[in-house]
Amino acid sequence: MSRLNQEWAFDFGPGMPTEAYIGVSPDTRYDDETGYGFEGNGQVFGRNRMDQQEESSGWEHLRQSFCIPMGMNFVVKVPDGIYRVTVEIGDALADTLTIIKAGESKSVLPYISTIRGQFKVALFTVAVHDGRLVLRFSGAAPRINVVTISPTEETLTLFLAGDSTVTDQPATGYPYAGWGQMLPALFKHDVLVDNHAKSGRSSRSFIEEGRLDVIVEKMRAGDFLFIQFGHNDEKSDPDRGTEAFTTYKQHLKVYIDAAKEKQARPVLITPVHRRYFNNDGVLTDTHGEYITAMKELAVEEGVPLIDLAADSKIIFEEAGIEGSKQYFMWTYPGEYLNHPGGVEDNTHFQEWGALRLAEQVIDQIRKLDLQPLRMYLR
């Protein structure tokens, strides 16, 4: 695969690609030899708004020709690392609406809408851990005109350690979502949100499985580590359970010490509430002493604390017993393809709920004035 100044530069759509760009037509399928192409069970369509005479102008092809992916991903084989991705999207003759996700289901940009004749350029930063950069395009009228991918080290990394309420849920579980997978789209491209949260983990099991070691190995001075555990610490499982005022605090302190040793900034986040209401519409606190213990530790160690438990209580109670279902995985049979029998889940979130919680995290970053993170908010 050719490269342009250490970049992968792709020109999408039918017709001759622009000089020095890699042409991607609607029928370009991924294989390991070329190292790029579309992948999935859907279809890709293409349009070229130029006539043959105009096509000789070369550079205009970048905007006038494009692909329309329907249920397909664009995959590029790249070495593991951090990458800056630039996309250009638009159409000379039609309004467009494009949603871009990276990897399994990470939200990396706000929805991109353009009116007829308008073209927008957007940037985001992603980490690649398995040698494949996967871009998922969807929306009411998606377009791909141009994509460039550049290795970069000029970024501030926000690491996330947590459980299923934070993790990047797989696309096969849609609309399941953790608040951590919605967070990248709320930052400018100067910040990489590297989400290491994993379903079913506690503050203890996350460490014992070596997941904190992976974060510490990548961590640099000035980075941030956001830490949210509690849901699984509360369980009696001997491989995960902790005691609030002893082993829970002790394990959380390991994260704090590890970050400080790398001259990074740890931030504690109280566990988001589950959807359990009393008959009078007041939310039942299922975390109890774990919230108190985390708050004590934040004071003892002098680290910032985002009280997502308090924020989520307000959000869920304002929505009410029935209204709060819109945030959680409460779905009807037949409502979503991935869950034909419906779901009644009071712990995990739909994308809308995960986004509301991610927005609360952003709001607390502002209130706590966590610089330079605050400076890079969209």
Residues labelled catalytic: 164, 344, 348
Q: What's the Cα-to-Cα distance from 134 to each of 11, 18, 40, 116, 244, rounded to whole Å? A: 17, 23, 11, 28, 40
**Residue in the block written with tokens 């550049």:** 150
- Determine whether 23 is exposed, middle or buried from the number of CB atoms within 10 Å of its CB (0-12, 13-18, 19+): middle
Contacts of 349 (CB under 8 A, 6+ apart): 165, 176, 177, 178, 179, 327, 328, 329, 357
Question: What does the DSSP 8-state code read for residue 245?
Answer: I
Question: What does the DSSP 8-state code read for residue 360?
Answer: H
CA-to-CA distance for 88 and 13, rounded, in angstroms? 13
**Tokens describing residue 138:** 């969807």
First to last CA, the chain: 34
**Residue in the block written with tokens 């999408």:** 12
Residue 62 — left, alpha, or beta (φ > 0 → left; ψ -120 to 50 → alpha)? alpha
Amino acid identity, residue 325?
K
**Residue in the block written with tokens 């100067």:** 190
The CA-CA-CA angle for residues 64, 67, 73, to 5°, reads 150
- Determine whether 299 is exposed, middle or buried from the number of CB atoms within 10 Å of its CB (0-12, 13-18, 19+): exposed
CA-to-CA distance for 87 and 107, rounded, in angstroms? 15
For residues 260 and 224, the answer to whether their CB atoms sit within 8 Å is no
For residues 92 and 117, the answer to whether their CB atoms sit within 8 Å is yes
CA-to-CA distance for 350 and 210, rounded, in angstroms? 29
